[in-house]
Amino acid sequence: MSTPPASPAAAHEGGTALCALLLRASDRVVLATTPLLAHLLGGAPSPGTPLAPPWCDDWPPAGPPPPRVTLRGPAAQLPCLVTALGDTLLLSAEHQFAPVLLDALPLDLAVLDAGGHYLYVNPAAIRDEQVRRGITGRTDREYVQWRQHPAERAERRAAAFEQARLSGAATHFTEQFVVQGADLTLQRTYWPLLNPDGSLRLMLGYGEDQTRDRTLAEQMALLRIMVDTSVDPLLVLDARPGPGQMRVVYSNPATRALLREHGLEELPDTPMTQWPMAQGNGVNVLAVLAQLPDLPPGRPYHDLLFLPDAQQWLELRINAILDPEGRRSHWAVSLRDMTTQRQVELQQQRVGRVHQLALAGAPLDESLTLLLDGADHWNVGWQVGALIASDPPRAVGQLPPGFARAVSQLPPGLLGAHWRRLDPACGGGAQVYPDLHSHAPAPLHALLRGEARSLIELPLYGRDGQLLGALIATHPTPHAWTASVVETLRTLATSGAILAEQHLSQEHLRHLAYHDPLTGLLNRAALTARADAALRQPGARLAFGLMDLNRFRFLNDAFGHPVGDELLRELAARLRQLARRHHLTALARMGGDEFGLLARPEQIEAVVSDLREVFEQPFEIHGNALLLEASLGWSVAPERARDGATLLQQADAALYSAKLSQQFSRTYRPTPPAQIPAVTLESALRASLRDGHFRLVYQPQIDLRSRELIGAEALLRWTHPQLGAVTPDQFIPVAELAGLMPRLGEWVLRAACAEAAGWSNPNLSVSVNVSSRQLGDPTFNERVREALRRSGLSPARLVLEVTESGLIDNPARAHDALQELRSLGVRVSMDDFGTGYASLFSLRSLPVDELKIDRAFVRDLGQDSRDARESQAVVSASVLMARALHIELLAEGVETPQQEQALRDAGCDLGQGWLYAPALERADFDAFEQAWPARLRAPRHPGAGDPPEDRPARTPPRSDPRSE
């Protein structure tokens, strides 16, 4: 029997395939049902081709329906029940077998005629019986119009219907619905049943819900993208016992990139335990892998993995993957590079401990050893230590023992000469030698012979460019991988320099306590003789410098001759160092507080620069921080003189000119430049004090965290009717020499209190500068109380700014006077902090409520430079010191947002500078106060209200430190 084409449709329920097959034989429709029909057929037969008997035994069926036949397929022979129905019987109420069977199919099923009218729709396709009846006889266009569905749905179905009709082959298309708020995806199929002449007789339509498969596919695609694009290495290991255990069955690109960094260009197809790995790395990796089989299946593994050969820290997380039986089949592994975070964390911990030790007065060797501790851990095989630039140098940390012993026997100056040759510009860059045998050995390098092949050196410089020491890293074998070692040394350099500078200064003081450097200097006659001898050389050029200490006699009388002698000893030691650094011809103590030096004329500028820094640092003598001031005069031969006596006379004249002009250094010239004579300025000052030619301007002070306006500094300005505007740099030195500073200071104090009392905001403070002569006046406190009484200004609003020298020159008098004022509520600020060298001890013992960081340390903040990093270190150290003593910190000279942010990040409290406003006239300050966007929200002095919650009020004066 020849059989026209067949049309199968399948659905899945409970894991078993139920298939329906409609066969048209002459004027009958034959329905056959059987499990796994599509599989047995080896695929559905193509429409339009006869269904041949080879797949079916006992065909054509005999006897009354329903006959039983046997389907033959690749898996088995299964019985099949076949029934034959006429076309019209599908809709006939007299023959219910086919509709009942079709209605029970879990597959969406519909039968349409050649014109696209629905003849039958089963409940799986449309559940609503009324709708099923209504669709009968309608086309898709009529149906969607009736049901008010989107017209596009009908057009899509009509197009698929037409394609199936024309091709005579099944046509598949996808439809998406939203059912009860959820997306539904159906795979639709139109299967044509053809007449013998090839025309369409019936169209069978069926659908399959693919929502879950589609959702799973989308989720799997997204998951794959997420894993492949992850920056963290991810991999899966085989956990099943056997030869494949620990084999990588999956890895993402980040994993393969990590392996390439460690020399594995291709992923090995062997267990990880057999991978070729660097020895140090392999030990740690294998130690982790050995723990995995013994872990309980539900317990994850989490730890930090260190790969020493690459100096790399990895965060490692491993979770077991279980099979359906609950047995561990795989391990899911994730890695994250934590090297930078780990190094920063450990370095911060070390630096914190180092600063604690330094504040506690620990020896330099102990502090540096702690600072360097762990550097060799990050750089396995390297020994990291430091050389301290003492005489002789000292070795600290992990350095080859023979080298450390040899360094302690070096002659004086060798370490300095070594670095002048390597780093003449004092840039502070690292010197890297991957193989010392490939370089001409320097004298210092020769000491490493037999103990090291690789060397890295990094110099440590002080603020004045003085060599303090060097960080040293050595390796016993040639080593080209040095980048991580250099970076480690750079992170340690700033802290190491600060420690070395602080401790070396203390060492010099201790050393000088047991030596007599006064007798080691040349005297006046010897210096003159040296000058004459130098001038007798052919083509000789010589600079004679004469230096006088401006305030030494005052200090000597105030503290006694033993203190004065010790002060001169320390100064002599500093001058010796300067002389060595510049290779000066001679250095002498001329007598009393005068010193002389011989140099080459081209050295004058550099020597003067270093001398300035010599006097910027206070001298710690018998527990007192003493500041010296000096004036310097130069004469040059042969331009100005040809013998030592004449040079001395001219240098003395230049020294007097420097003192008169309040300059640090002057060079002798026969006709000095024109300027306002000091006597003229003195006369004008006296007249202006009488006639009221002075005025005050105010520079705002801002809270760096809340950006509130908290007060202003009062600054003196002078405009003379004939001389015009005279700058403070011009008239202040004359006022000091003429003894007018107490009168000027009293005028400023009274005017500032009176004007501040009239400000619209009664909570703003006013800062007034006080000279050391004012502090030394026994009536000073009474003058302050009188200014407050006359103006009505609250003492809590007055801040007295004093310099370090003003506090240190006569500490007992300054302490008693200021402490008495502080008991009234007046606050005390130390001006220009950092330009001297106030110690933690001296600060603790002085009546200070506020430190003003000098603008010199603010200027470079926010930049990427060595000066900026050093300034940042000074600011951070000042913050730590201020916090320890409960003192506020105010930064002067804030001019850029970058400086402000750096100060805020460091923890500085207050700021003052052009970023907020220049010094303003009184009216302009009043306008500024009204316009400032972060006006004070609450009073800042006692008795006027509570401070805002986000920051405590400006701290009241500290209690007497001596009573603590």
- 780-789, 880-889, 908-917: which has the minimum mean pLDDT? 880-889
Name the pLDDT band for 131 (thresholds 50, 70, 90). Answer: very high
Note the CATH number of domain 517-667. Answer: 3.30.70.270
Which of 369, 506, 499 has the alpha carbon at shortest distance from 873? 499
What is 698-933's CATH number, 3.10.20.740, 3.40.50.2300, 3.20.20.450, 3.30.2130.10? 3.20.20.450
Q: Integer distance in angstroms from the first to the last C-alpha of the chain?
A: 119
Give tens-digit pLDDT for 448-459: 888 889 999 999
Q: Give mean pLDDT, residues 358-376.
A: 74
Q: Kindly tell me the sign of the dihedral angle through the C-alpha atoms of 470, 475, 478, 483.
A: negative
Q: How far is CA 99 from CA 111, 546, 647, 960, in A?
A: 12, 125, 131, 106
Percentage above 70 pLDDT, the chain? 80
| Domain 6-209, CATH class in plain words | alpha beta
The DSSP symbol for 520 reads G
Those residues whose C-beta lies under 8 Å from the C-beta of residue 220, and which sit 6 or more positions away, are: none
Cα angle vertex 712, ends 709, 714, to 5°?
Answer: 170
Rounded to 10 degrees, the C-alpha dihedral 724/727/729/733 comes to 50
Cα separation, 105 vs 10, whole angstroms:
9
Cα separation, 212 vs 831, whole angstroms:
76
The predicted pLDDT at position 92 comes to 47
Q: Give mean pLDDT, residues 519-528.
A: 78
Cα separation, 790 vs 51, whole angstroms:
122
Tell me the range of 391-405, 562-576, 690-704, 869-883 where mean pLDDT is highest. 690-704
Residue predicted with more confidence, 524 or 957: 524
Identify whether the C-beta of residue 830 lies closer than 8 Å to the C-beta of residue 802: yes
Cα angle vertex 904, ends 903, 910, to 5°?
Answer: 80
Domain spans of the chain, in order of start: 6-209, 230-337, 345-512, 517-667, 698-933
Identify whether the C-beta of residue 731 lies closer than 8 Å to the C-beta of residue 740: no
pLDDT tops 90 at residue 373: no
Those residues whose C-beta lies under 8 Å from the C-beta of residue 943, and which sit 6 or more positions away, are: 796
Percentage above 90 pLDDT, the chain? 29
Note the CATH number of domain 345-512. Answer: 3.30.450.40
The DSSP symbol for 294 reads G
Question: What is the length of the chain?
Answer: 964
Instruction: Round the average pLDDT of the chain to a whole number and report it.
Output: 79
What pTM was estimated for this model as a whole?
0.37
Those residues whose C-beta lies under 8 Å from the C-beta of residue 531, and which sit 6 or more positions away, are: 542, 544, 586, 598, 637, 643, 644, 647, 648
Given this chain, do its domains 230-337 and 517-667 carry the same CATH topology? no
Which of 916, 899, 934 has the alpha carbon at shortest distance from 709? 934
The predicted pLDDT at position 805 comes to 66
Name the pLDDT band for 809 (thresholds 50, 70, 90). Answer: low
pLDDT tops 70 at residue 358: no
The predicted pLDDT at position 262 comes to 79
The predicted pLDDT at position 504 comes to 67
Identify whether the C-beta of residue 627 lies closer than 8 Å to the C-beta of residue 620: no
Amino acid at 414: L
Tokens of 947: 């401070």
Amino acid at 546: L
Note the CATH number of domain 230-337. Answer: 3.30.450.20
Amino acid at 234: L
Q: Give mean pLDDT, residues 348-371.
A: 74
pLDDT tops 60 at residue 423: yes
Name the pLDDT band for 665 (thresholds 50, 70, 90). Answer: very high
- 311-325, 344-358, 847-861: which has the minimum mean pLDDT? 344-358
Give tens-digit pLDDT for 493-504: 888 888 888 776
Q: Give mean pLDDT, residues 863-873.
A: 83
Could you give the count of Cα atoms lying within 13 Å of 514 in the half-sphere of its Cβ? 4
Q: Give mean pLDDT, residues 224-236.
A: 86
Print the SS3 string covering 129-181: HHHHHHHECCCHHHHHHHHCCCHHHHHHHHHHHHHHHHHCCCEEEEEEEEECC
Give tens-digit pLDDT for 61-91: 443 444 333 434 343 443 443 333 344 444 4
Name the pLDDT band for 377 (thresholds 50, 70, 90). Answer: low
